[in-house]
Amino acid sequence: MAKPAFIYAFDNLGPERFTELCSLLLASRYKGFLRGGVGADGGVDGEFDETLGVWYSESKDALLNEIIQPGQKVIFQFKHIVTGRIGGQVKARDHLLGMYKCRSNYVCEIHRNLVANKKPDCYALVTNVEVNSNFRAKFIEQCKAHNPGIGRYQVIGLDELETWVTLEAELRHMYFPTIFGPPRFNLQVKVSEGIAVPHYSGMEFDKPIPTLFVSVMNVGASPSYVSSVSFKVIVDGEVMNMSILNLDNQLLKQINPEPGAIVEPGRKLEYKFPFDMLREVIMRQGKEIFPFEVIVQDEIENVYSTPIPDNLIDKMVERS
C-alpha cells in the first residue's frame, strides 16, 4: 500500500497516549477487546507501561496471520520505546528481545504475574518499534521456547500501527493533528448482505441472488477512482489478497461498476459479490481459506479496509 506522507510520531506520544491509541485501534478491529490490568512500571525511565489489553474472541477471527478460535483469550501488552534514546531501531529490537528472556536477576515479561495470572491462549506484543521478519521470527521462537504454556505469540509493530492509523481518519487527527485539515482522499468502506436482481438483455432472473454488498462512500474532499476491491484472507497460515472482480464472468460485470469507476465526494459505489460465487471460488482453491477483511484501493494506491462480520464469513465459506 502507499505509505503515509510522513511517519507518524509514535515516539512522541509517550507510554500513556501510545497505550490509549493502540487500545482504540484494537477495539475498532476486534469485537470484545477490553483494556485493563495496570501494574507497576516495568521499564527504563518510565517508558514502559504495564497496561494489558484482553480480547476474548467470540468467533473465529484473524490476528495478523493467526486464526483465533472462539473462546480463546488473547492478551496485548504495550511497549513504548523512544528509539532515539535507546540508540535506534536495531538496538530497540535487541532491547525488546532482552525483555522476553529470563535471567538470574530478571523475570521476563511473559513470566510476570500480570501476564501469568491471565493464563492466555495467545500473547501479542504491541510496540512502536519497527518490526522486520527476522525480529518477528526470533521473538516468536524465543517466547515459545521460554514459555510454551502460551500457545501462540504475535508482534504488532510500527508498520501495522501506521497502516491502521491511516485507515482511521478520526484517530489520526486526534493523535497526530496536522495543519492540512481533512484529507483530500478518504473512502469509507462498509459490508452488508442483500439481494441482487440482475437482468440479461432485459430479462429478469427467476430468483433474487443472495449477495455480499461492499459500499464505498467518498468522505473526502476530492473525487476518487476505485482501482480494486478484494478480500484479505488467511490461506494455510499466510495472509494474502483474493480478488474475484477480475474473473471473466458476465454476471459480475453486469452488477458491478466499471474498473476505475469515479466516486464523487458525498457519493458512493456499491460492489456486489453473490455468496454462491464466493463459495465456489474459495472451494476451488482446495485449501483452508479464512476471509476476514475487505480491501479497497484507489488509483493513487491509497488502501481502505473494513472487517467482514462473522455471520457473513459463515455465508462465504458455508461454515457451520
88-104 pLDDT, tens digit each: 899 999 999 999 988 88
pLDDT computed for residue 42 by the predictor: 42
Q: Which tens digit of pLDDT belongs to each residue from 190-232?
A: 999 998 776 654 445 557 789 999 999 998 888 999 999 999 9
Q: Could you tell me which residues come within 8 angstroms of residue 149 by beta carbon, excluding any fewer than 6 positions away?
A: none
The pLDDT of 163-182, averaged and rounded, is 77
Please indicate whether residue 134 or residue 286 has the higher confidence score (pLDDT). 134
Q: Which pTM was predicted?
A: 0.74
Question: What Rg, from alpha-carbon coordinates, does the chain have?
Answer: 22
pLDDT of 250: 81
Higher pLDDT, 13 or 38: 13
Q: What percent of the chain has pLDDT over 70?
A: 88
Asked if residue 165 has pLDDT above 70, the reply is yes
- Residue 32: the pLDDT is 86
Cell readout for 182 is 481533512
Residue 251, pLDDT score: 81
Q: For position 317, what pLDDT does the model report?
A: 85
The residue ranking higher by pLDDT, 21 or 166, is: 21
Give pLDDT, residue 302: 87
- If you average pLDDT over residues 144-158, what whole number do you get? 92
d(CA 265, CA 30): 29
Residue 7: what pLDDT? Answer: 67
Per-residue model confidence as pLDDT tens digits over 284-320: 776 778 999 999 999 888 889 999 998 999 889 875 4
Position 41 pLDDT exceeds 60: no
Q: What mean pLDDT, rounded, does the chain reach? A: 85
Hey, what domains does the chain have and what are their CATH numbers?
10-175 (no CATH), 187-317 (2.60.40)
Beta strands in the chain (DSSP E): 33-36, 52-56, 61-63, 66-68, 73-79, 122-127, 152-156, 187-196, 199-200, 203-204, 209-218, 224-235, 238-242, 262-263, 268-274, 289-298, 303-307
| pLDDT (0 to 100) of residue 138 | 94
pLDDT > 50? residue 2 = no
Mean pLDDT, rounded, for 17-44: 77
Per-residue confidence (pLDDT) for residue 12, from 0 to 100: 87
DSSP 123-166: EEEEESS---HHHHHHHHHHHHHH-TTS-EEEEE-HHHHHHHHH
- The residue-averaged pLDDT of 47-53 equals 63
Percentage with pLDDT > 90 across the chain: 45
Q: pLDDT at position 4, please? A: 47
Total Cβ atoms within 10 A of residue 58 = 12
CA 43 to chain centre: 28
